[in-house]
Structure 1
Amino acid sequence: MSTHKPLGRFLTAGAVAVAMLATAACSGSTEPSSEVTELTVILANSTFTENLPALAETYKAETGITVNVEAYGNEQLNDTLKVKLNAQSDEFDIFGYQVQDVMREFVRNGWLTDISDYVNNSGDWDWNDFQESARDAVQLDGKVYGVPVATERHIMYYRADLLKEAGIAVPTTIDELEAAAKALHNPDKGFYGIAMRGARVPLVTQYSSFLYSYGGDFQDEAGNSTINSEAAVQAYNTYGRLLHNYGPPGATNMGWVEASAIFAQGNAAFYLDADSQAYTFLDPQKSAVVDQVAYARFPAGPAGSHPYNIVFQTLGINSFSQKKDAAFDFIKWVLNKDNAKLLLGEHTLPVARSSAWQDSSATEKFPAGLVEIVRDTDSNYVGHDRPQLEAVARAREFVGGPAVTAIEGGDEAAVKAAAEQANTEFQALLDTEKR
C-alpha cells in the first residue's frame, strides 16, 4: 500500500463545519461532547490505521480533542477487545472490528453501541452515501452497530490478451466462464483455465457469490440452514466442476495466496476472488501479467450476478464509553465525504462511500476497469460472504465440505449427499445458538 503522506488536502472549512455539528444524544453517554478533551481508538493494522494518526492531528487542531490511536494485529485486537470489554472497560471509546467475525457476539454481550439514531440524524454527512450492502452488513435486527470504513467485492480477473487472441468475449455469465475456461485450459503446458480457492475453509467465502447467483444463501430468513437446497447443490457442483476440470492440480490445498500466485505467474486464464488483490497483479516484482490483467464483474448465474461486497473494517463505539457523543462526532468527521476522497485518492483505501468512487481525481491510481466495477456496486451485491452466526469459523468447516467433494470429482449424487450431511451438521450448530 502507499506510504505516509500529508493528510490536510481535503479538509475544507465547510467540511469541518459539517463534521463538527452535534448529533442527537444517545442513551448511555454521560459526558457532554463539548467537555471531552481526549478520545481513544483501538483497531487492527491497515492502510486506514496507518493514516489515522495524521488525521487525528488535524482533528485536534480543529477541535482541541486529542485522539489516541492504538494498533494491533487482527488476532491480538480481537483478544484485547474481548478481555477489556468483558471487564466493561471504558479506557477506549471507539474500536475497529470485523463485522462477520465478531459483531453478533459483541452485540449479544452488550459491547457495541446501537448508533442508529446517530447515523439516521446525521444530515449532510449522508449515511445513504455508503454502499447499500455495506450499510446492511453493519446492521443486526434493524439496528446499526458501526460505520463501514472500507469494502471489498468479488470480481473476475482475466487475461485480456488470451481472450482477444482466441476470439472469446469476456464472460458475463457463469456458463460463459466455464466455456471460456475449457477453451483456454492447457494443462500439458502448465496452463489452466481457472484458479480459485479450493481448500475447505478458505473456499467458503468465494463459493458464496456462486451460491447467491444461483438463488441461494447459507440460511433462510428464520436462520435455518439451506446449504442442501437445489440452488446450493447446483452452486457446489459448478464451483467444483470448474476447479476439477479446468483448475490446477492440488486445488483443495489452495487458499488465496496459492491460487492468486498461479494467476500472477501467468499460468491461468481466469481468477475469481476479492478486488483487494488487484495490486498484487500490477506489481512487476510479483506479477508476470501486469500488462495483460483485466477486470470484470462477477458473472451471472441463473438468478443473476449477486457477488459479495463485504466490510473488512468497521468503526464501532464501546458501549461502556462515557464519551459516546464525542466518539461519534469523530467517526462522523474522519469518515466524511472529503476524508473518504483523501483516503481513496492518496492512500488507495477502498472506502465504502459511493461519492468518493464517483470522483475521477480520487480514483486516478486505480485501474479504470476496477473503478467501473466498484462504481457499479449496486443493490444486487450481498453484504456477507459466509454463514451468519457467532461460530462462523466452525460453520465454514461444514459448509466447505460439499465443494471439496465436487472439486475432487464427486458426481452429483455424491455432492448432494455431502450437502445433506453438511446441512445436518450446520443446522445443529445453528440450533445451539438459538437456545
Structure 2
Amino acid sequence: MKGVLRLKHMKKWAFAGLSLTILATAAACGKTEDKPAPAAAAAKPFEGKKITVFALNHQWAESIKAALPEFEKSTGMKVDLQTFAEDQLGGKLAVQLTSKSNSPDLFMYRPYMDKILYDKNGWTQPLDEYVKKNPNYAFDDFSKATIEASTNNGKLLSIPLFTDQFVLYYRKDILQKNNVPVPKTLAELDAAAKKLHDPGKDLYGFVGRGQRNALVTAVASFVFSEGGDFNNGDKATVNTPEAIRGFQIYANLLKNYGPQGTLNMSWPQAAGLFAQGKAVFYAETASVYKNTTDPEKSLVKDNVGFATFPAGSAGAKPYSIASWSMAMNPNSANKDAAWAFTEWATSKENVLKIQRSGVPGARNSVWASKEGVETFPPDLAAAIQETMKIGVGHNVPQLISVGEARDAVGSIAVKAMLGEDIKAAAEQANKELQAIIDKDKSK
C-alpha cells in the first residue's frame, strides 16, 4: 500500500514538474514573450499541438497509452500513439523517413540493429542539447551501457525505453542436490555443465540459442568476456584469438552438453526446454525470464535461479543494451512538444511505473529503489543491477547490414558445433564480415 501511495504522490508531482519544465524550455528557446504568460497558457503550454508517435505493440506502449489522458490534460497537446508489430513498424518507418515526412514526430526503434543505418540516412534528430535543458530530468541516471547503445559518432540519437541484460539461468534444486556452487567463471560453468549433464535422464547440462543468426546475441557475451569483439570500427575482428576463444566456449557448451536439435533453437525453444526441466543452465537475456517462471508455462517455476554472467579470461563482460528506444524525426514540425512527451514518458516516475509491470527500464535509480525491484525475483534484480554496471552496450556487429553480418558471424559457432575447424571458420567469417563492412561504407 505504501508503494502505491508513493507512486500516486510521484505522479502528481511529475505532471507539475513537467509543466514547469516545458515552460522553462520554451522560454529558453525564445518562444515566450517577456511579459508573464496568462494562467491558462501556463497550465497548458502545448494547447492545440498534436504529435504522432509510432510505437511497438508492447507492454511499454500499453502502459504509456493508459497514462496519456492525464498527460494531455496537463500539457494541452494531443498524442496520436499508433502501435504496430515489429516488422510492420520497420516498414512504415522506412517509407515515412525516406520520404522526409514530418510524421511521425517520434518513433520507437532498435538502436542495436538500426542506429548506424538511421544515423547515416539522417533519420534521427540528435538529442544531446535536449537532455541538458532540464536538470530534473536527470539524464545521468540512465545506465552508461544503454546510453552507449543509443549513441553513434558521438551523437545521442535516442532515449532508452527498455533494456536487455544477458544473465545466467540455473536450476537451484539440482545445484543444491549435487553440492555444486553457482559458476563464477566460464571454466566453472563448463565443469558444472559437464558434471550435471545426464541425457539418459533427459537432463542436459546447458541450453541456449543454436540457430546461426539468432545465436549471435548470445555468443556476444562469451566473446566479450574473453576480450574479443565482432569488429573494431571498420575492421572485422572475429578471427582474433580472443574472439575465437569466446566462440569455442559457447560452441562446446552446446555441442557437449546441449540437447538434440540445438542448431534449430532460438530463444523460445531454448527457454521452453529449460522451463520443462530438461536443462541445468541457460544463458539468455533477462527480459524473457517469465517464460521460465510462469506457473502456466514452467514445470520448474520455484527452482529457477539467476546470476550475473560468469567471467572469462577478460572478466565478466555481458551485454547490457537498450533493446528499444525513442527517437525524434528530424523533420518533425513539433520538436519541442515531441521532446516534452519523451521527457515525460522516460521520467523516473514513468520508468518506475512501467518497470513494475515487468518491463526492465534503463534508469539506475529505479533499479536501486525497493519499488523498482520488488516485482522481480530478488536474485534476478541483483543480476540485472550488476550487469547494468559492468555491461557492454552492444551485442551484434556494429555496422549497417546487421542481419547479413549476423549470418556470417553465427556460422563460426555453428561450424564448431558440427566439429569443423573453428580457426578456419573464423577466418572465413572474418573475410565475409569485412566484405560487408566495406560494402556498407560505399552505401
Q: Find out whether 1:422 has 2:434 as its counterpart.
A: no
Work out whether 1:338 is the aligned partner of 2:345: no
Partner of residue 9, structure 1? 8
Kindly, what percent of the aligned residue pairs are identical?
36
Query: Is 2:125–2:330's contact at 8 Å kept on the other side of the alignment?
Result: yes
Structure-2-length-normalised TM-score: 0.92
Q: Structure 1 residues 8, 166: closer, same or farther in 2, change over 3 A? A: closer
1:18 is displaced (CA, Å) by 2.7
Gapped regions of structure 1 (runs ≥ 5): none
Superposition pairs for residues 104-183 of structure 1, below 5 Å? Answer: 104-183=116-195
What is the rounded CA distance, in whole Å, between the counterparts of 1:108 and 1:362 in structure 2?
36
Distance 1:257 1:63, change over 3 A: same
Structure 1 pair 10–232 and aligned structure 2 pair: CA distance change class (3 A): farther
Which residue of structure 1 aligns with residue 374 of structure 2?
364
Q: Distance in 2 between matches of 1:90 and 1:239?
A: 45
Is 1:432 the equivalent of 2:439?
yes
How far is the alpha carbon of 1:36 from its aligned partner?
A: 5.2
Corresponding residue number in structure 2 for 1:399:
409
User: 1:163-242 alignment to 2 at 5 Å?
Assistant: 163-220=175-232, 222-242=233-253
Q: Deviations over 1:215-262 (max 9, x none)?
A: 011111x32100000001111111111111111112111111111111
- By how many angstroms is 1:361 displaced? 2.2
In structure 2, C-alpha distance between the alignment counterparts of 1:283 and 1:31, rounded to whole Å = 51
Aligned residue identity for 1:330: F
Matched to 2:396, the amino acid is R
Tell me, which stretches of 5 or more residues in structure 2 are unaligned? 33-44
Residue equivalent to 2:110: 98
Q: Is the 8 A contact 2:47 2:76 kept in 1?
A: no
TM-score (norm 1): 0.93
Task: Tell me which residue corresponds to 1:390.
Answer: 400
Helix, strand or coil at the partner of 2:79: strand
Which one has more relative contact order, counting CA pairs under 8 Å at least 6 apart? Answer: 1
d(CA) in 2 for partners of 1:297, 1:386: 20
Aligned residue number for residue 35 of structure 2:
none
By how many angstroms is 1:8 displaced? 7.9
Q: Residue 373 of structure 2 aligns to a residue in which SS?
A: coil
Deviations 1:68-108, CA, capped at 9 Å, x for gaps: 11000000001000101111111321111111222211111
Alpha-carbon distance in structure 2 between the residues aligned to 1:155 and 1:259: 14
- Work out the number of aligned pairs and report it: 424
CA deviation after TM superposition for structure 1 residue 356, in Å: 1.1
1:177-326 matches, cutoff 5 A: 177-220=189-232, 222-326=233-337
Answering whether residue 98 of structure 2 is matched by residue 86 of structure 1, we say: yes
Change (3 A) 1:419 1:36: farther
2: distance between equivalents of 1:162 and 1:45?
38
- Tell me the CA shift for residue 24 of structure 1: 5.3
- Residue 24 to residue 58, structure 1, CA distance change in 2 (3 Å): closer
Q: Is the deviation greater in 244-253 or in 266-275?
A: 244-253
Question: Does the CA contact (< 8 Å) of 2:164 and 2:360 recur in 1?
Answer: yes
SS in 2 for 1:377: helix
Residue 51 of structure 2 aligns to a residue whose secondary structure is strand
Give, in whole Å, the separation in 1 of the partners of 2:300 and 2:9.
35
Contact 2:167 2:384 in 1 (8 A): no
1:52 maps to 64
Cα deviation for residue 30 of structure 1 reads 12
CA distance in 2, matches of 1:200, 1:37: 47
After superposing the two structures, state which structure 1 stretch, 303-312 or 113-122, moved more. 113-122
Amino acid at match of 2:14: A
Q: Which amino acid aligns with 1:181?
A: A
- What's the offset of the Cα at 1:17? 3.1
Question: Which stretch has the larger CA shift, 351-360 or 7-16?
Answer: 7-16
Partners of 2:168 and 2:9 in 1: CA distance: 33
Secondary structure of the 2:302 match is coil
